[in-house]
């Protein structure tokens, strides 16, 4: 497995799947979430609405998958990161769950290349250094990581 760090627009990366730092409603928002919904088009929102109707959104730490609409990737994996409030242990576990659950969905869908944004570090205020450490450690320690060819952190 190759780990790569890239400064780029995640909506323009050519991988099997990009990960969206979503909110629990799955209806789009600001930052990465808004950009993915805008550039991906209505099909992503329609699929998110179907998921909401079926299971009531996406809980913190969980992940769901849709097609990618107009984006160059095939799929978008939507995961909901924790809002940082200083409860380091609980929030760190939830953030690690975002990466684990996204990788599990990737493997279940035959995804070999995946790009992650820095989950929860925007309006959710997770400290960037802690978030990066959790992201890298969780991906490297993931038990089935050999089934993924490349992970890009954007």
pLDDT digits (tens, 9 = 90+) for 63-118: 999 999 999 999 999 999 999 987 789 999 999 999 999 999 999 999 999 999 99
- Please answer whether residues 73 and 14 qualify as being in contact, where contact means their C-beta atoms are separated by less than 8 angstroms: yes
Catalytic residue among 9, 16, 33, 141: 33
- Please answer whether residues 123 and 22 qualify as being in contact, where contact means their C-beta atoms are separated by less than 8 angstroms: no
pTM beyond cutoff 0.95: yes
What integer pLDDT is reported at residue 87 of this predicted model? 78
Per DSSP, the three-state class of 74 is coil
CATH code where residue 15 lies? 3.40.220.10
Average pLDDT of the residues in 31-41? 96
Q: Where in the sequence is the domain holding 94, given as residue range(s)?
A: 2-153
Q: What Å distances lie between residue 14 and 5, 10, 80, 99, 134, CA to CA?
A: 14, 9, 23, 19, 24
What total of structural domains would you count in the chain? 1
* Strand boundaries in 43-110, DSSP class E: 63-67, 75-80
What integer pLDDT is reported at residue 80 of this predicted model? 98
Both tokens of 71, joined, read 């984006």
Mean residue pLDDT of the chain comes to: 96
User: Catalytic residue at 46?
Assistant: no
């Amino acid at each position: 497995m190759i780990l790569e760090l890239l400064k780029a627009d995640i909506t323009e990366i050519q991988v099997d799947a990009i990960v969206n730092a979503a909110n629990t409603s799955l209806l789009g928002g600001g930052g990465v979430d808004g950009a993915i919904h805008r550039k991906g088009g209505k099909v992503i929102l329609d699929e998110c609405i179907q998921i909401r109707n079926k299971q009531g959104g996406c809980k913190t730490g969980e992940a769901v998958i849709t097609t990618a609409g107009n984006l160059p990737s095939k799929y978008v994996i939507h995961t909901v990161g924790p809002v940082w409030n200083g409860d380091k242990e609980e929030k760190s576990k939830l953030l690690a769950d975002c990466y684990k659950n996204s990788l599990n969905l990737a493997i279940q869908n035959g995804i070999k290349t995946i790009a992650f944004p820095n989950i929860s570090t925007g309006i959710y205020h997770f400290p960037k250094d802690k978030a990066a450490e959790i992201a890298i450690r969780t991906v490297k320690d993931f038990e089935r990581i050999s089934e993924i060819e490349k992970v890009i952190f954007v």
